[in-house]
Copies of this chain bind each other. A is one copy, B any other.
């Protein structure tokens, strides 16, 4: 029945939601159809990155004005998954996912969302988080009308950061919870003692992040479901490491775009979303050569990783608006990660 649409918008600074305001203002996008926002702001991506909170506050004020709902209520029903850090060629942007319930189709790309309950600061990175997120993923699947895990293409999770030192652990817990819900990691293994250690346990279709600006687990699920309109195609591929150019090209091709080596200019407007997760290889080596990301006091390792992986993906997309997020434990192979592309069909 419904139709999913995705608007990919640029921002001039983390408080700039003028592009969305224009779309709402001219009637292109009814504010009440907005169901999720995923974006990349230009902070450092760490615990003291407040660009995510700033963008969220700006977005909620805009939507509150447009819908007459309170900002708190909107925050409680619209997942806003922001990743800080636009290192290198990356460009600050946000993707607005809207659903028009009045339209009708036989089967197509579906999206569902769900929120978990409020979380105490210490209650991340543990079994409780894994269970909470798994339940939220199932709820988001139900929301989308996705029949089963086999029809899920991608799960995006955002969890509270927890206290100092817990950020990456919260990311891992969110990923493990989603992997559990999808059956990509068996229940017996999806436990807190595996977080950040048993890196061979992963889902190749989960993208997780964490931040101080959220207080509940937020989940967005994409997949195939009956009743949704066609026109959008999603493809997700695991990457073996941060240099996996072949996997990146394969994802773009599977989404219906050429990539020889990059997406031709004429096809680039069809790109609706590119999302990726990656990780500085903990063995301190990539293909046998030493990297220095993990021992650098001056630049956070995740900033190094985003700048590098984001550039490789952007060189294929021909566009710097890539959502790339570090901390990829349990989201694709160790030292690697995954890349997802959503494109309009030709």
Contact = CB atoms under 8 A, between A and B. Distances in A.
Interface of A: 10, 12-15, 42-51, 53-54, 57-58, 61, 86-93, 164, 212, 242-246, 249, 261-262, 284, 286-287, 289-300, 303-305, 307-312, 314-316, 318-321
Contact of A245 (B53, B58, B261): B261
Contacts of A48: 42, 292, 295-298
Contacts of A91: 286, 289-292
A315 B312 contact: yes
Contact residues of A: prevailing secondary structure = loop
27 contacts: A14-B54, A15-B57, A42-B48, A44-B298, A46-B297, A48-B295, A49-B297, A50-B54, A51-B54, A54-B57, A86-B291, A87-B299, A88-B88, A88-B304, A89-B286, A91-B291, A91-B292, A242-B311, A243-B314, A243-B320, A245-B315, A245-B316, A261-B261, A287-B319, A297-B303, A298-B298, A307-B307
Contacts of A316: 245
A9 to B, nearest CB: 11
Nearest to A53: B15
Given A12-B290, A54-B57, A246-B262, 10 more contacts: A15-B53, A43-B50, A44-B297, A46-B297, A53-B54, A88-B88, A88-B309, A164-B294, A164-B295, A289-B321
